Structures are given as C-alpha cells and as structure tokens.
Structure 1
Amino acid sequence: MGGQKFAVLLCAEDSDYVKKMYLGYFGVFVRMLEEEGEIWDKFRVSNGEFPEDEKIGEYDGFVITGSGNDAHGNDLWICKLLNLLKKLDGMKKKVLGICFGHQILGRALGGNIGRASSGWDIGITNVYLQSSATFRSLKLPASLSIIECHRDEVLELPPNAEVMAWSNKTGIEMFRYGDHIMGIQGHPEYTKDILLNLINRLLNRDLIQESFAEEAKSKLEGNEPHKEAWKKLCIGFLKGRM
C-alpha cells in the first residue's frame, strides 16, 4: 500500500539520549510505524512549525507525540495545535495521539483533561481492552501492557467518543472518535531504555522523588511491554486496516 504520506507533529524537544540513540522522537515513531514506500514528514509544532493549510490534504494521517507541556495549558503553539486538530477532524483525517497527543485530542474534541488525582503513572501498566470488533480483527488479547509516563489524563470523554481501554489507575487509557481519531495514553513507541532515561531526567528536574524513581525502575526489571501488539494496533488504525 505504498505511496501514503504521514506527518509526525512533534510536541517535545528531543532529549540528548533519544537524539543519539534514535535520531530523535521522530526516529522512534518512524521505526514503529513506517512501512515500505511511505513518506514521513515531521513538524516541530512545539517550536511553532506547522504544516501549511493547503498542504494538509496531502497527508493520509497524522501522529501527535508526547510532551513535557500540559495539554490543558494555553501556550500559543497549543492553541494553534487545537485549531489544527479541529480542522483535521472536519476533514476526517486519520489522527493518532500518544500521551500528550491523546490528551490534546480529548480537549480539541470537547472532552475534559487535567491532572490525574492518583498522581504520576510511570512504568509498565496493564491496560484492559474493550471487547470490540476492532480488536478482534487484529486478534489482540484482552489486556496489553504498555509503558506509561504521565501525570495528566483525559478526565471526561468528548461527546460521541468511546473508551477503548482502561487500567486500574486511569479510566481512559485509550479512546476512539469516529473512524478517524484515536488516542492512547501510554507510549507504544517507547523502549525501556527511553523510559529509564526519562525517569532520570524527571528526577534531576525535581518532578519526582528519588524513592518513587527507584521504585519505578525496579518494577521495569523482568517486565516487558507488548510492543508488537501495540505496533500492529497503531499501524492498523492509522492506515485504515481495522
């Protein structure tokens, strides 16, 4: 199914580690999602770099990444991104939102987002999939583990959206809106080494305490996310195969 064109909307600065190991977050996403014959572009929306209005139609799908910023904030680029997402919804473009991307989609479509009352979720979390034809067609199990790193969440779904997955900590781990928009709270694209590096960065910035960081790291040992299943799910959604 070559010739399709996708854009990654980057909402975070690349860490030195991710730059060195994966050529930035763009590289991490392309590694998970790219198939032969496709074109992948990147726009650093958090730096004010957006696709031009007349070019939006050329893309088959968009991916919105995680971010260190709050999706409930009102920075100029976040407001511009909200406008773009409303436009993409109107055009029925495929949009996949990850972590911050999941939350900003929830906000753009009229849901409610904010700080999670249960605090940070960092580590590998088991999420339970809604029994649906979507997942059955991909032959997915009833639950999947995923890497998480967030303290905000979608508190209330947008009208007409449906919960596709939940966990013991987060009620909306994944939602779908129509056939064209999907949000995932966890990080299907992350590897454990990316998360370990991120835990150290959060600790250095005093965003988490040392005891919490050590506990999060120890829980990663001997625990693996279902990366292949998430990859299949993300590709299946983005490229209209489910």
Structure 2
Amino acid sequence: MTSSLASRSEFSTNEVAPTGASSSSSEPSGFHKTPPVGISSCGFCHHRSPLRFNPHPPPPPIPPILSLPNSTFCKLFAFTGERLRMGGKKFGVLLCAEDSDFVKKMYGGYFGVFVKMLAEEGETWDLYRVACGEFPDDDEVESYDGFVISGSSRDAHGNDAWICRLLTLLTKLDSLKKKVLGICFGHQILSRALGGKSGRAITGWDIGIRTVHLSSSSKIFSSLKIPALLSIYEIHRDEVWELPPKAELIAWSEKTGVEMFKYGDHIMGIQGHPEYTKDILLNLIDRLVKLNFILDSETEDLKAKVLAREPDREAWRRLCLNFLKGGL
C-alpha cells in the first residue's frame, strides 16, 4: 500500500537551552529545575495547535535511521512529517516534551521513534505536542482507536496548565474506554488521572537497563508467552507511589515497586522505555551531566552498563502492539 505523510510547516525547531522554560527531550519526569511558562507563551515551540493540515509544507530531510535501504519501516512508510496517513486504525502520540537535536537528526523526533516501533501498514498516526498546548479537539477524540503518552522532563505530580489539561483528557479517554499506553511520565500521569499518586523515587535516579519481574497471574503475559523476566531501558527519578483503585500491578523491579500497571482492558502504564534505542539513552546520559543532574564521574560506569547488555526490545514491542491493537 502506498503511503504518505503530511508534514508541518515547522518540522524542526531549535533546541531549547536548559534554563528557564527550556526543555530537552522525553527524558524522565522531574528533569528541569524551573517551571514552564504559560501555554500562551510556550517555551517549547512557536505554535499552539497541530499544523499537520498545512497543504503546502516544505518536506524535511528524511532522518538517516529511517532511510536505510533494508529498513522494514522505510518499505512501509515515507517519513516526511508529523502525520502518518494510511487509513484503517487511527492512533495519536501525546508528546509531553521537546525533541532534542540528536533525536530530531537521527529519528525525526520522538514521534518517529514511536511510529517506527508501533505503526503498521494501513494505519494513521497523529502527533500532538501536548506540552505546547496542542491537544486533539473534543470531537476528534472518539475517532481514535488509541493513544500513546510519551515521557517528559516535567513532573507528573505537577500542576502546569498543560498537565492539568492532559489529566482532563485522560479522564475522558478512560470514560470512552479508549486504549491508552503510558510510557515513563505517561505511566505516572495515567496513574494520577485514575486516582493514584506519584512523586520522587525514594531510591533516586534509575538510569540504565533494569530487569523487570512480570506478574505470573496476569493474562497479558501468559497469552503472549512472554518470559517472567524482561530487561528494559530506564531513565527516571519519579515513580508511581500508589496505584489507582482497581488497578492491577503487573510488573515490578528491585528498584521500582510499580514498573507496570493495567487498568481495565484499556489502559496500561510502563515505567521504562520500550521505544528507546541504545544511542538515545547514551545521549540522554550526556545531557543529564550537562544539566548537573548526575556527576560526570558517574557517566563512565553508567555507559559501560548500557553497552554491556541489550534490552528485550522485541518482547516489549509485541507486548505494546498487542495491548494497543489486540485483545489484551
């Protein structure tokens, strides 16, 4: 099937400096020292609403990772913007942070990272930069089959205007029983929207590859024949403190008590980053050092551990795909 993407007039914005109302990428929540400015003067981007409907946008260069000759992704999609149009099922990415220059160059932004992992032929994927005040219209929400909430540099327990608006949207998505997958910050904000609590992790930052224990009682794992232990990239200093009422704890680790939870059959949160690649995590470690969140002396050990192991990316991909699109 032939596919195309409608791009924005502003596909790439300059990376924001790490001060004031700045942003970095979808790093872990609690990443910035200062609160963001109001939505009306967003420090993340230069516009408020999605511009994916612009009929005459200049096409941006295809990111090198997506232009590889043997890339299955490339055979299915032409990545030239912020909307993947193919008809069929329709999904939205609620992006909660700004793309770093590295991720924009290598993957076309975090939207490209999520689309590469989750999109399949015959689907439409839209991007909403919710940290900039870009949200789907109320009458649009019902047309979506599901949403993915990204990580963020902000605190899921904060009360920034866009976070409060996001909480309202998530409450609506719950009432409509829409499929929603939350990653890192997305995992935490989902918990909060449903009545749970999150905050700073008592044990501090978790950076690297973490082995996660999956609940043997959860049908979501047994039906896919997924092993009881899976490794995943982690980079966060916040965590879910208390699950929402009626939520099911389905994974934990020695570091974090709530690595995954499920709420009904339509909502799932993952504290780690199944979408991350090794180079993304290594770049984020460098950024944490520059922003003085970790010591330069820690980087060698952190990077060595990242380089020494591989996460179970394919198992996480199957899990996420089956949750969003299957009957799990």
Q: Distance in 2 between matches of 1:212 and 1:60?
A: 42
Q: Distance in 1 between matches of 2:297 and 2:254?
A: 22
Q: Which residue is 1:140 aligned to?
A: 226
Within a 5 Å distance, the mapping from 1:162-201 to structure 2 comes to 162-201=248-287
Cα deviation for residue 240 of structure 1 reads 2.6
Instruction: Tell me the secondary structure at the aligned position of residue 112 of structure 2.
Output: helix
Match of 1:82 among 164, 167, 179: 167
**Where is the strand percentage greater, Structure 1 or Structure 2?**
1
State whether structure 2 residue 135 is matched by structure 1 residue 50.
yes
In structure 1, give the amino acid aligned to 2:299.
A
Q: Distance in 1 between matches of 2:219 and 2:163?
A: 34
Match of 2:312 among 201, 220, 226: 226
Write out per-residue CA displacement over residues 49-103 of structure 1, whole angstroms, 9 at most, x where no aligned residue. Answer: 0000000000000000000111111110000000000000000000000000000
Q: Distance in 2 between matches of 1:163 and 1:198?
A: 28
CA RMSD of aligned residues (A): 0.8
- Flag the structure with larger Rg: 2
State whether structure 2 residue 212 is matched by structure 1 residue 122.
no
Cα deviation for residue 232 of structure 1 reads 0.1
In structure 2, give the amino acid aligned to 1:53.
D
Q: Which residue is 2:108 aligned to?
A: 23
Unaligned runs of 5+ in 1: none
Q: Distance in 1 between matches of 2:171 and 2:326?
A: 20
Q: Percent identity?
A: 69
In structure 2, give the amino acid aligned to 1:146.
I
In structure 2, give the amino acid aligned to 1:56.
V
**Where is the helix percentage greater, Structure 1 or Structure 2?**
1
Within a 5 Å distance, the mapping from 1:94-105 to structure 2 comes to 94-105=179-190
Cα deviation for residue 10 of structure 1 reads 0.3
Q: Distance in 2 between matches of 1:55 and 1:221?
A: 43
In structure 2, give the amino acid aligned to 1:33.
L
Write out per-residue CA displacement over residues 192-220 of structure 1, whole angstroms, 9 at most, x where no aligned residue. Answer: 10000001011101011112222211111
Q: Distance in 2 between matches of 1:145 and 1:110?
A: 28
Within a 5 Å distance, the mapping from 1:65-76 to structure 2 comes to 65-76=150-161
Q: Distance in 2 between matches of 1:239 and 1:148?
A: 25
In structure 2, give the amino acid aligned to 1:217.
K
Q: Distance in 2 between matches of 1:78 and 1:215?
A: 34
In structure 2, give the amino acid aligned to 1:112.
K
Q: Distance in 2 between matches of 1:188 and 1:149?
A: 11
How many equivalent residue pairs?
241
User: After TM superposition, which residue ranges in structure 1, 4 or more long, deviate above 2 angstroms?
Assistant: 211-214
Cα deviation for residue 133 of structure 1 reads 1.8
Q: Distance in 1 between matches of 2:249 and 2:286?
A: 32
Q: Which residue is 2:327 aligned to?
A: 241
Q: Distance in 1 between matches of 2:161 and 2:132?
A: 10
Match of 1:210 among 286, 291, 296: 296
Q: Which residue is 2:242 aligned to?
A: 156
Q: Which residue is 2:91 aligned to?
A: 6
Instruction: Tell me the secondary structure at the aligned position of residue 78 of structure 1.
Output: helix
Unaligned runs of 5+ in 2: 1-86
In structure 2, give the amino acid aligned to 1:208.
I
